[in-house]
Structure 1
Amino acid sequence: MIVPVPDGYPAAMIDLAGLPAGSPLLPVVRGGPNNQGAVEADGRQWQLASYHPHNGGGGPPWDATRHGFDTYFGELVSWLARLN
Structure 2
Amino acid sequence: MAQADADVAKNYTALLKRLDAHAGKALRDDQSDFIAYRDQIAGFNESSPKNQPISANSCATAQPSCPAYASPPMQV
Q: Could you tell me the TM-score, scaled by structure 1's length?
A: 0.26
- Tell me which structure has the larger Cα radius of gyration: 2
Give the structure with the higher percent helix. 2
Q: Could you tell me the TM-score, scaled by structure 2's length?
A: 0.29
Higher RCO by CA contacts (8 Å cutoff, separation 6 or greater): 1
Give the structure with the higher percent strand. 1
